[in-house]
A and B are shown apart, each in its own frame.
Chain A
Amino acid sequence: MRLQAPETTVSFTFDGRRLQGVPGEPVAAALLANDIRLVARSFKYHRPRGVMSAGSEEQNALVTVGRGAQAEPNVRATTLEVSEGLEVSSQNAWPSLRHDMMAVNDLVSPFLGAGFYYKTFMWPRSFWEKLYEPVIRRAAGLGALSGHTNPDDYEKAFAFCDVLVIGAGPAGLMAALTAGRAGADVILADEDTAMGGRLLREKEDVDGMPAADWVAQAVAELAALPNVRMMTRTTVTGAYDQGTYGALERVAGPRKAGKPLECFWRIVAKRAILCAGALERPIAFPDNDRPGIMMASAVRAYANRWGVVCGKSVAIFCNNDDAHRTARDLAAAGVKIAAVIDSRDDVQIEADYPVFTGAQVIATKGRHGLESITITHAGGTRSIRTDCLAMSGGWNPTVHLTCHMNGRPTWREDIASFVPTPDSIPDMVTAGACNGVFNTAGCLAEGAQVAADVATGLGLEPKVTLPVADDSAYAISPLWAVAGKGRKWIDFQNDVHVKDIRLAAQENFRSVEHMKRYTTQGMAPDQGKSSNVVALAVLADATGRGIPETGTTTFRPPYVPVAIAAMGAGSQGKGFAPERFTTSHKATVARGAPMIEAGLWYRPSYFPQTGETHWRQSCDREVGYVRGAVGVCDVSTLGKIDIQGPDAAALLDFVYTNMFSTLKVGRVRYGLMLREDGHVLDDGTTARLGAQHFVMTTTTAAAGLVMRHLEFVLQVLRPDLDAKVVSVTEQWAQFAVAGPKARELLNAVLDQALDDQTWPFMACGPVGVAGVPGRLFRISFSGEHAYEVAVPSRYGESLFRMLVAQAEVMGGGPYGMEALNVLRIEKGFITHAEIHGRTTAFDIGMERMVSAKKDCIGKAAAARPGLVGDDRQQLVGLRAKDTLTAGAHLFEKDAAAVRVNSQGYTTSVCYSPTLDMHLALGFLKNGRARHGEVITLRDHLRDVTREAEVCDPVFFDPTGGRARG
Chain B
Amino acid sequence: MVSLISLSPCAGLLPLSEGGVTVTEVPVDRLWSVAPFAGQQKAVSAALKDQLGVTLPTVNRRGGAVTWFGHGTYLVAGDVALDGLAAVTDQSDGWATVRIAGQRAEDVLARLVPVDLRAAVFKTNHSARTMLGHMSVAITRVGPDAFEVMVMRSMAVTLVHDLQVALRGVAAR
Do A and B associate with each other?
yes
Please list the residues of chain A having a beta carbon within 8 angstroms of any beta carbon in chain B.
153, 155-160, 185, 251, 253, 256-260, 266, 268, 570-571, 574-575, 577-583, 600-601, 642, 644-646, 715, 722-724, 726-732, 769-772, 791-799, 802
- A residues in contact with B169, CB < 8 Å: 153, 155, 258-260
Q: If A258-B168, A260-B169, A722-B37 touch, does A645 touch B87 (CB 8 Å cutoff)?
A: yes
Within 8 Å by CB of B37, from A253, A601, A646, lies A646
Which one, B8, B90, B133, B135, contacts A728 given CB within 8 A? B90
The stretch of B54-62, B92-100, B141-149 that contacts the partner chain? B92-100
Task: Please state if A574 and B161 are interface contacts (CB–CB under 8 Å).
Answer: yes
Q: Which among A266, A770, A793 has the highest number of chain B CB atoms within 10 Å?
A: A793
Given contacts A258-B172, A578-B134, A644-B89, contact A793 B155 (CB under 8 A): no
A-B contacts at CB below 8 angstroms, number: 147
Contacts of B157 in A (CB 8 A): 579, 581
CB-CB nearest in chain B for A715: B71
- B37 in contact with A578 (CB, 8 Å): no
In the complex, which range does the number of interface residues on chain B fall in? 35 or more
User: Contacts A155-B111, A157-B111, A730-B93 known; A797 to B7 CB distance under 8 Å?
Assistant: yes
B50 within 8 Å of A by Cβ? Answer: no
Would you list which residues of chain B between 121 and 173 have a CB under 8 Å from chain A?
121, 133-135, 152-158, 161-162, 165, 168-169, 171-173
| Additional A-B contact list (7), CB under 8 Å, known A253-B173, A260-B173, A580-B158 | A260-B169, A574-B161, A581-B154, A582-B154, A731-B94, A770-B3, A771-B1
In the complex, 7 of the A-B residue pairs with CB atoms within 8 angstroms, ordered by the A residue number, are A258-B171, A260-B169, A642-B87, A646-B37, A770-B1, A770-B2, A795-B6
Nearest chain A CB to B119's CB is how many angstroms away? Answer: 11
List residues 74-124 of chain B with CB under 8 A from any CB of chain A.
86-95, 110-116, 118, 120-121
**Could you say which residues of chain B place their CB within 8 Å of the CB of A577?**
134
Which one of B94, B95, B121 has the greatest number of beta carbons of chain A within 10 Å? B94
CB neighbours of B115 from chain A (8 A): 158
Q: Contacts A259-B172, A722-B38, A794-B6 hold; do A574 and B158 have CB atoms under 8 A apart?
A: yes
Residue of chain B at shortest CB distance from A805:
B2
Closest Cβ of chain A to B122, distance in Å, is 10
Look across to chain B and name the residue whose beta carbon is closest to the beta carbon of A153: B169
Note all chain A residues with C-beta closer than 8 A to B1. Answer: 770-771
- For window 6-46 of B, CB contacts with A under 8 Å fall at 6-9, 33, 35, 37-38
**A570 touching B111 in the complex, CB below 8 Å, given contacts A160-B118, A579-B155:** yes
- B37–A645 touching, CB < 8 Å: yes
Q: Within the complex, which residue of B7, B87, B120 is in contact with A726, where a contact is CB–CB below 8 Å?
A: B87
Q: In the bound complex, what is the Cα–Cα distance between A570 and B38 (angstroms)?
A: 42
Choose among B72, B93, B120, B133 the residue that contacts A575 (Cβ–Cβ < 8 A). B133
Contact A156 B91 (CB under 8 A): no
Contact A570 B6 (CB under 8 A): no
Contact A728 B89 (CB under 8 A): yes
Structural contact, B4 and A730, CB atoms closer than 8 A: no
Q: Which residue in A158, A578, A642, A797 is a CB contact (below 8 Å) of B110?
A: A158
B37 touches A570 (CB 8 A): no
Chain A contacts of B152 at CB under 8 A?
A: 580, 730
**A residues near B168, Cβ cutoff 8 Å:** 258
B169 to A: closest C-beta gap in Å: 5
The docked-state distance in angstroms from the alpha carbon of A654 to that of B97 is 36
Task: Sort A-B residue pairs by CB-CB distance and give the 9 closest, nearest first.
Answer: A259-B172, A724-B87, A644-B87, A580-B154, A160-B116, A793-B93, A724-B35, A731-B94, A795-B4
A contact residues around B93 at 8 Å (CB): 730-732, 792-794
Do B135 and A578 touch (CB < 8 A)? Answer: yes
User: Across the interface, which residues of B come within 8 angstroms of A715, CB to CB?
Assistant: 71
- CA–CA, A324 and B156, complex, Å: 64
Tell me the smallest distance from the CB of A875 to a CB of chain B, in Å: 33
- For A641, give the chain B residue with the smallest CB separation: B89
Q: Contact: B2 with A578, CB < 8 Å?
A: no
Complex: chain A residue closest to B111, CB-CB: A157
